[in-house]
Amino acid sequence: MKHTKAFFIKLVMTIGVLFIVLSLFFGVSFADILIIGLILTIVAFIGDLFILPRIGGISATGADLVLAFLVIWALGSFLFDPDISAFSAALLASLFIAGGEFYYHKYLIDHLFENETERQVIDRKKNLITQTEFSDDFDKGVNSERHNNDQI
């Protein structure tokens, strides 16, 4: 149920942003906005489920920015009228989507990944601690040579 709610929040946010940007500034039809919004939401949601817990919210927002740009640009070049710049529309829409994704990722971390994120953060700290070695060998060698020289 949490995944379904999170998916529909992302879908509404994505289609809302696309509607505002693409229809008001570029005159794209609502049918094209729905197609792009649905495909982008499905791809990005699957990416969020796997990428967000591993790389964190800011990096995942950057990945969503690139993904949104590429999807809107690719689909827009087929769906938009020839007089509409798919590049400009994709750039502007992806920037606004990335702004929404920043807050959406905070929601996912707090509500969907709450236990999983804490566990992964703890695991990362354990890995860092267990991979770090501390040694006094060099200090002991220097001190023991000084000590041995003092005795002579």
- Residue at 141 is within a domain: no
Decide: helix, strand or coil at residue 112: coil
**Domain encompassing residue 63:** 2-112
The answer as to whether 20 is a domain residue is yes
Q: Would you say residue 26 lies in a domain?
A: yes
Distance in angstroms (rounded) separating the CA atoms of residues 38 and 15:
8
Across the range 69-85, mean pLDDT stands at 92
What are the angstrom distances between the C-alpha of 39 and each of 33, 34, 66, 74, 131? 10, 9, 15, 11, 42
Binned at pLDDT 50, 70 and 90, residue 51 comes out as confident
Q: Report the candidate in 60, 41, 42 with the shortest Cα–Cα distance to residue 52.
A: 60
| Residue 107 included in any domain | yes
**Domain presence at residue 88:** yes
In a domain, residue 86? The reply is: yes
Per residue in 79-125, pLDDT (tens digit) is 998 888 999 999 999 999 999 989 988 888 887 776 654 445 444 55
At CA 132, angle to CA 136 and CA 113, rounded to 5?
A: 155
Domain count, the chain: 1
For 38-49, write each residue's pLDDT tens digit: 999 999 999 888
**136 within a domain of the structure (yes/no):** no
125: which residues sit within 8 A by CB, 6+ positions away? none
Specify if 138 maps to a domain.
no
